[in-house]
Each structure stands twice: as C-alpha cells, then as structure tokens.
Structure 1
Amino acid sequence: MSLNLEFVAFFLGFVAIALAIGYGICRVLLGPQAATRNLLYAGPWLLFGAVLAIALSLAGRFGLVGLYALYTGGVLFWLISWPLRKRSAGDLLHSIGPTSQNKIFLWVGLFQVGLAIAMTLLLLDRVTGGLVTGLGIASGIVQIAFWWSLALLFILLGRSNLEIREHGLCYLYAWQPWARVEAFGWDDDKPNTLILKLLPRSFISRRFITLTIPVDQKATVDDLIDDYLAEADLATEMDIAQGIEPPSQPD
C-alpha cells in the first residue's frame, strides 16, 4: 500500500472549503465573534481530517467503502433511536421551532438530494449489467446508501425544532441535559443568539455552543432557562478562553 498524495490533497481541500463556507454562513447568522470561535473550534477537526485522509489513502478503495458503511449505519441508528432518547429529556415546556441554522441544514439537504441522485446514476453500473461482481454490487449499494443517508440526515436536521424540556434542551436530534450546562448568556454581536457554557465530557468536547433564537421568543426562552441555569457574560468569556481580543468599550 502506498500513500495517494492526490487523494490526500483533494480530501484536505474539500475540508478547507467546507470550513470556509461554514465560517461565511456563521458570520452572517451569528456575527463575526461567533464565527471566529466556531472556526477555532474546527481546527482540531481539520487535523483529524488530515489523519483520516492518510488512513483512507493507505486502506485503498475498500477502506473508504467501509467508512461509508459505518457512517450510514451510524446515521440510521442515531435517527431511529431519537424517540427513545428524547424521552429522557422529560416533558415539553416550550417549542421554539426551527432556527436559522435549521434552514441552512434544510437547504444543504436539498442540495444533497440532487447530489445523491447524481451519484446513484453514476454508481448504477456497479449494481447492474452483465459484468458486475458480488463485491462490486455490495460496494455500489453501500455508496448509494451513504449519499442518500447524508441527504436524509440534513433534511431531517433542517426540519427539526429547538425545544426546551423538563430536563434539558432538545436540538438536532440530540438533547443537552441541564446538569451538563454551567451557565447561559446572550451574544454581544447578535442579541438573540443564546450561548450555553457546557461541562466538557472530554478534552475535545466543545465548551460553548450558540443557538439562534427568534427575536419574538427571546424573553420567553430567557425566563424558562433562568429557572434552571445561572446567567453570565459568556460572550466575553468565550473570547478570552479562545484568545480573541474582546471589543473595546467606548469611554
């Protein structure tokens, strides 16, 4: 096995472009401070992407197919298990509905549907025709399933709601227990952007997350969360923790 430098360069280029697009979207939706924080958080994932690209290059074509299979199975299990996991969050107190981030996921999902259709057409020759093999059929089916599971994931994320529940927040098919949240606050750039300070589960876990709340629901959300969490100036704290110079205050 040899290292495929062309594949590694392509993979890292794709990751870099995705980070740039994500930064641009976050800057528009959440403001420059939040966008910079998210970009700094993405740094370790870029390193992980480099390691993954090298590993996949060494593993060859079937290593990538194996990754497709693991990802597809993980996505389907995560989505199917959501109703059971959601019960742990307790009774619904308030449904905020979809946020600006959800709309982005939905548009990405629609784009992924088109991409999945294109990839399905390209991969049909692996599962049909007189020259196909059993291994080729399995490889083609796994790759087709991967692209459709990716589209399904983004569409369902885009159609999900942000909910305040008895034991935590439900968002994007996951829930954040109140016990794992130290405090909450509101961003300086975008006053309707909710910031949560988390108790990290590991050294790579995010310490802060941001959620865009509709302006007309900010007061309701603030009152409900205030019953469970202490409010703090988390925007400044995030900037200091990540080495970002807080904006100077006018005299």
Structure 2
Amino acid sequence: MAWFFGYIIFIGLVLGAGYLIVARTMGQPVAKRNIGYALPWMLVGLAIALIPTLVTLGGPTIWNSFYLTYVILTGLWLISWPLRKRKAGGLLLNAGRTWHNKCLFWIGLVEVVVAAIITWISWVSLTDFPNASNTVVHTSLKIAFWWMLAILIVSLGLNRLELRENGLCFLYNFIPWQRMKSYAWETNYPNTLTIRLQPRMVFLPGIMSIRVPEAQRDRIDQILKDCISFSPPDSLALS
C-alpha cells in the first residue's frame, strides 16, 4: 500500500503546485476551474496506478498491451493532425505559442530526460537477460512508451494557437466556432481568454481558458467578435 499513499501525496503536491502557478499567472477563478477539471483525470490516473495488481494475474502481457496501445494511438493522433486540421479552413491568425505551450515544452524536456534515464536503466537490465525474448519485447515497449510520452508533450509545447475560418486550433485540437457559446477576458488578467463552449462529452469541461500572447490580444478579440455569436461581457459570467 506504500505506492498508493505515495500516489495520493504526489497528486496532492501536483494539484497544489498547479493551483498556485495558474492562480498567479491566470487568476484564482481559472485556477479553481482547472482543479475541478483535473480531478476526474486524476481518478483515471489512480485507476492506471492500480494496474500493477493485475500484472500478478496476467503477467507482463498486460503491460505490453498497454504500452503498445498507447504508442500506436498517440502516434496516430499526432500524425493525423494535418488531416484533422483541414477542417479548420484557411488561416486567419497565427497567435504563436501561448503560456500553456511554453509550460508544456519545459515539462516535455524534463520528460525527455526521464525517458533517457529509463532507456539507460532498461538497457543495462537487458544485459542480465540477454537471451530472454519476452524480456526484450517488454523492455522495448516500455522504452517506446516513455519516448512517445516525451514526444507528445514536447509536440504540444511546440504547437501554436491558430484562429482559422472554421474554428480555433489549440494543442492539436480543432474547436469549431459553432461549439463556442461565448467568450470573455478575465478582468484582472486581461490576456487570459475564457471561452464557454459545448463539450463533446458530459464529463468534459464546458469552459476553456487560454493565456494568449499580449501582442495578439486585440487581433484575437476582433476575430472572436466576428466569429462567435455572443459578445462579452454580458454573455459570459466568470466566477
């Protein structure tokens, strides 16, 4: 059970640090909303953390399946972005990298270091079992998983906020204008854009906040006024 309590402590530290950073850069209302949105995903992480108990029943096959599935799905998601992006139409404004992108980029660099360390440790461990083919497969998939995770986070960090004819492109996602109900700028943090939108699934958040580059704020505001039916501030209550 030590790993379980360790996970709970780790999640608490992550939530606390995340809240302080977001509250300082984007305001407490945004930080509170982000905490609420993050909790369900933390529960998903807890479920994943429980997977080791299944390993005793199914052996490394369960981990191998998990690693392989993640690598394939994540790789396809990244590679398919140019095709998915076509739905967004022509470019109206390339707003550049946001605060979120820059944070993810540095987190991605840390993940690259983690992946490199895991690769080295795994390579050393293989020397102890040079003829065990199942160990080689398991280790290779584990290494591929950690490098794919690093590639994903770095890619998100290098991605840019784009406003296009049919919607907004952010973090490898296309959000059509039709899904956006209204928008507003945070009062105390004028570069923080908050958009109320129609979530694709019930459990997904209905509000998205982005800290945009200051130089692009006015241009973004003008495009949003033209593309979103309702204008701020009356259409969106931020609390």
Instruction: Please name the residue that 1:22 is paired with.
Output: 18
Partners of 2:150 and 2:51 lie apart in 1 by 25
Q: CA deviation at 1:206?
A: 0.8
The TM-score, its normalising length taken from structure 1, stands at 0.85
How far residue 49 of structure 1 moved from its aligned partner, in angstroms, is 2.8
Tell me, yes or no, if the aligned pair for 1:72 and 1:149 is still in contact at 8 Å.
yes
Distance (Å, rounded) in 2 between the aligned partners of 1:17 and 1:146 = 25
Output the CA distance in 2 between the equivalents of 1:175 and 1:152: 20
**In the alignment, what sits opposite 2:31?**
35
The equivalent residue for 2:237 is 237
Corresponding position of 2:48: 52
Q: Deviations over 1:82-130 (max 9, x none)?
A: 0110001100011000011111111111111111111100111354455
- Secondary structure at the residue paired with 1:203? coil
Equivalent residue for 1:187? 186
The Cα RMSD (Å) is 2.1
Q: Does 1:6 align with 2:2?
A: yes
- For residues 12-48 of structure 1, what are the alpha-carbon distances to aligned partners after superposition, in whole Å with 9 as ceiling and x for unaligned? 3333333233223212321222111101221222333
Structure 2 counterpart SS, 1:197:
strand
Check whether the contact 1:103–1:158 (CA below 8 A) recurs between aligned residues.
yes
What residue is the counterpart of 2:65 in the other structure?
66
CA distance in 2, matches of 1:34, 1:58: 38
Gaps of 5+ in 1: 240-251
- Which residue number in structure 2 is paired with residue 152 of structure 1? 151
Contact 1:178–1:228 (Cα < 8 Å) also in 2: yes
Match for residue 88 of structure 2?
89
CA positional deviation for 1:236 = 6.9
**Is the CA contact (8 Å cut-off) linking 1:12 and 1:53 kept in structure 2?**
no
Residues 206-238 of structure 1, C-alpha deviation per residue, up to 9 Å, x if partnerless?
A: 110001112221111111111111123489734
Q: In 1, Cα distance between the equivalents of 2:198 and 2:206?
A: 7
**2: CA distance between counterparts of 1:195 and 1:138?**
45
The answer to whether the 8 Å contact 1:184/1:231 transfers is: yes
Q: Deviation of residue 70 (structure 1)?
A: 2.1
- Residues 159-207 of structure 1, C-alpha deviations (whole Å, 9 max, x = no match): 1110000110011111111111111111123111111111122221111
* Structural mapping, 1:116-135, within 5 Å: 116-128=115-127, 131-135=130-134
CA contact (8 A) 2:183 2:235 kept: no
Percent identity over the alignment is: 33
Gaps of 5+ in 2: none
The TM-score with structure 2 as length reference comes to 0.89
Q: 1:217 to 1:77 in 2, by over 3 A?
A: same
Using a 3 Å threshold, how does the CA distance of structure 1 residues 160 and 122 change in structure 2: closer, same or farther?
same
Once the two structures are TM-superposed, the CA of residue 133 in structure 1 deviates from its matched residue by: 1.2
Amino acid at match of 2:91: L
Taking the aligned partners of 2:142 and 2:32, their CA distance within structure 1 comes to 34
Kindly indicate whether the alpha-carbon contact (under 8 Å) linking 1:65 and 1:143 is maintained by their aligned counterparts in 2: yes
In structure 2, C-alpha distance between the alignment counterparts of 1:195 and 1:55, rounded to whole Å? 36
Q: Which amino acid in structure 2 is aligned with residue 227 of structure 1?
A: D
The total of aligned residue pairs comes to 235
CA, structure 1 residues 70+80, in 2 after alignment: closer, same or farther (shift >3 Å)? same
